[in-house]
Amino acid sequence: MEGMAKTSTTTQGLRAAIERSGYYPALVAEAVEAAVGGEPIRSYLVHQETTFDQNEVRRHVTVLVLTGNRFIVSHTDEQAADTTSPTPYATTSTESVKIGRISSVVLSRVVANPESYTPGTLPREVVLTIGWGAVSRIDLEPAACGDPNCDADHGYTGSSTADDLSLRVSEAGDGPETVRQTLVFAQSLSEATADVTR
């Protein structure tokens, strides 16, 4: 993906990555392509994860796409048969966010043996967190003053964090290529948000 041409080759690369994930590729590709429309793709990331829910194994795929004007997020989940459906089913959703709405792009890197780190070495794990104001988390705790004998009510203190999307990718679980793609996508998205603020 590094040095990827910003042409239809990128669209073909995205479709190939969706197909490689093996997770309902026709369904996922159709939803993503409908959301992208005719816009050229600048960068993308396909991340599949498997979770264990009681006695069931569930899969989930997230596709992130960056165009010249938008950041597109697609989630696809599979569900077992339940009271609403006698057969297993999948749910696909896409969200389109204008680049100018993205308020933060946070990339956390975990590296082994930092004392001997060599620039360019892949991190063992990365966490990409993107905020655009759709979801905020507020953490509150009782406020206190410096007087250990004070028993007055000082109200609450806290912080508000925007974390609309958070993806954890590890070399052990997802492979080095997915870690590399996450780094490239994070850089492309950061650069796109910087271009908008200029």
**What is the tens place of the pLDDT at every residue in 151-196?**
888 777 765 555 578 999 999 999 999 999 999 999 999 999 987 7
Residue 155 and residue 185: Cα distance in Å, rounded? 42
For the chain, residues with pLDDT lower than 70 are 1-9, 52-54, 134-140, 158-163, 197-198
* Residue 38 included in any domain: yes
* pLDDT (0 to 100) of residue 179: 96
Whole-model pTM: value is 0.80
Domain of 6 in residue numbering reads as 1-98
Cα 125 to chain center, whole Å? 14
* pLDDT (0 to 100) of residue 188: 96
* Residue 1 included in any domain: yes
Cα 109 to chain center, whole Å? 14
* pLDDT (0 to 100) of residue 185: 97
* pLDDT (0 to 100) of residue 4: 37
* Residue 68 included in any domain: yes
Task: Work out the number of other CB atoms within 10 angstroms of the CB of residue 16.
Answer: 13
* Residue 55 included in any domain: yes
* pLDDT (0 to 100) of residue 3: 35
C-beta of residue 17 within 8 angstroms of C-beta of residue 180: no
* Residue 47 included in any domain: yes
Element (H, E) at 48: strand 41-53
* pLDDT (0 to 100) of residue 136: 55
* Residue 85 included in any domain: yes
* pLDDT (0 to 100) of residue 135: 53
Residue 139 and residue 156: Cα distance in Å, rounded? 10
The contacts of residue 178 (CB under 8 Å, 6+ apart) are: 47, 169
* Structural domains counted in the chain: 1
* Residue 182 included in any domain: no
* Residue 172 included in any domain: no
